[in-house]
Amino acid sequence: MRRVLIVDDDPKVCETLDRYLAHAGYATATALDGAKALEAARSFAPDLIVLDLMLPVFDGLAVCRMLRATSSVPIIMLTAKSTERDKLAGLELGADDYLTKPFSPRELVARVEAVLRRAAKQEQSPCIVAGALTIDPSRCEVRVSDELVTVTATELRLLVTLAKTPGRVYRRDELARIALGDDFEGLDRTIDAHIKNLRRKVGAERIATVFGIGYKLVA
Amino acid sequence: MRRVLIVDDDPKVCETLDRYLAHAGYATATALDGAKALEAARSFAPDLIVLDLMLPVFDGLAVCRMLRATSSVPIIMLTAKSTERDKLAGLELGADDYLTKPFSPRELVARVEAVLRRAAKQEQSPCIVAGALTIDPSRCEVRVSDELVTVTATELRLLVTLAKTPGRVYRRDELARIALGDDFEGLDRTIDAHIKNLRRKVGAERIATVFGIGYKLVA
DNA sequence: CCCTACGTTCATCACTCCTTCACATCTCCC
DNA sequence: GGGAGATGTGAAGGAGTGATGAACGTAGGG
């Protein structure tokens, strides 16, 4: 369940938004001023923050700036001022969206969903890129110069290990421990077999043998 | 035909609005106080509610709040007070629009149509499209190249999960947690059974098995 | 109350792919 | 260049994984 932190100095507004978001299936927390907001951002670890511009202690812009210093959590700013200038200032500081009061809570829910959807799309790219190789563990896919090749789960783990530090030499027992599990009891030659299969799929020239030691990915 | 519930403590106002809305082609019902309004909201199942702020038994804000706890039916608030503050309170509580008395009945009809148009637009948008698949969770419908297929609630949740990020591989336990609930204690093989049924309905080629890991929707 | 639809489980079959082996090939060192 | 050891490779076996149809239990509706 996605978590939303609501920051507004008006308890009534907090309560209303809280109820709407909870009803829409979100886990929620509220904070009434900037200091509490920063604390809650740490302790509650929200997936998204709804942040009012006018706040006691620290104002919304300050909170936004401080959050952005350490985190990239999506932020939706609420503001009573509707001039272009304010919109710009909010967006420049890293808000993902903003809403001008008054607004219907339903619209907020829609924005929250839109922003989370956008964020989720961005987040799904912990692809490992090494030369012509692009490895996407979350999709279990490997691309060689944009050509899609299918690899098995074991081959993928092996390739990811090698690709995280291209050029570094891994001994067979290291590779076995990482790709086949700490408790692997088989022969080192098993790794050879997997390397053979990987070479056939990604191109033999990309995986180098270091005689007497192990294998490495060519940089 | 769209259904509109009119809530006002003044029978004359009710009658006037009723006549105008009926003439504009709406099915109507009226309620004279907050309690009757809540009951009518259940029994009449309106597509939209016109709600006066000043009411006996429960006032308009209370009614709005109670309705919103369980429903997202569009609400237009009527009020004699015209200060910004009241506008804010109404919108924050979930009204979709508001009208300050006195107003012309014709204007109300226009607002009703605008709000219903907006609501219709929002409602039809959460379709998830992935390749030839179109999934409409709110209608529990799935289309495969415009061919309508019926799926069960569980199959739908499973398909929605997969379709939100096509290509991403989901482990069985992830799918079970999302589609069957956090507290699901059953076997992973249950997912297999649902996947089998889904494949039969949407086409086996659209759901790929990732050996040793789980399933994914082909992009 | 029965019936239907659905979710879950089980047993069985089919398949993938990990592992091993045997032999060929290569590297290094003498 | 020759030998010993290390690595490459194709094939085969088998453990583990997935697919499938049927059976069971249950909840909801007529």
pLDDT, tens digit, 9 for 90 and up, residues B152-207:
989 999 999 999 889 999 999 999 988 888 788 889 999 999 999 999 999 999 99
**D14 C1' – A171 CA distance, angstroms?**
27
Residue A201 pLDDT > 90, yes or no? yes
Helices A172-180 & A189-202 angle (0-180, nearest 10):
80
**A153 CB inside 7 Å of strand D:** no
Q: Give tens-digit pLDDT for B79-126.
A: 776 655 555 555 555 677 778 777 888 888 888 888 888 777 665 546
- Chain A interface includes B218 (CB < 8 A): no
Helical spans, DSSP H, in chain B: 11-23, 34-43, 60-70, 84-92, 105-123, 153-164, 172-180, 189-202
Q: How confident is the model at residue A171 (pLDDT cuts 50, 70, 90)?
A: very high
Q: How far apart are CA A140 and CA A120, in angstroms?
A: 18
What average pLDDT does chain A have?
85
CB contact (8 A) between residue B88 and residue A102: yes
Tokens 């090698």 -> residue: A162
- Chain A interface includes B186 (CB < 8 A): no
Both tokens assigned to A133: 């190789």
Q: Within 10 Å of residue A13's Cβ, how many Cβ atoms?
A: 20
The string over B67-102, giving b where at least 16 C-beta atoms fall within 10 Å of a residue's C-beta and e elsewhere, is bbeebbbbbbbbbeeeeeebbbbbbbbbbbbbbeee
- Chain B interface includes A20 (CB < 8 A): yes
**D4 C1' – A211 CA distance, angstroms?**
15
Q: How confident is the model at residue B54 (pLDDT cuts 50, 70, 90)?
A: confident
Both tokens assigned to B125: 């948008």
Q: What is the pLDDT of residue A125?
A: 54
Residue B19 pLDDT > 60, yes or no? yes
How many residues does the structure list for chain A? 219
Residue A150 pLDDT > 90, yes or no? yes
**B156 CB inside 7 Å of strand C:** no
Q: What is the pLDDT of residue A210?
A: 94
Q: What is the pLDDT of residue B94?
A: 65
Average pLDDT over residues B7-23: 90
- The residues of B between 181 and 200 with beta carbon within 7 Å of nucleic strand D are 189, 192-193, 195-196, 199
Nucleotide nearest to A197 (CA to C1'): D9
Q: How far apart are CA A19 and CA B215, in angstroms?
A: 35
Nucleotide nearest to A180 (CA to C1'): C18
Q: Give tens-digit pLDDT for A70-124.
A: 677 888 888 776 554 455 454 555 677 777 777 778 888 888 988 888 777 666 5
**C3 C1' – B155 CA distance, angstroms?**
23
Q: What is the DSSP letter of B204?
A: G
Of A101, A120, A138, the CB nearest to B88: A101
Q: How confident is the model at residue B4 (pLDDT cuts 50, 70, 90)?
A: very high
pTM: 0.60
Average pLDDT over residues A198-219: 95
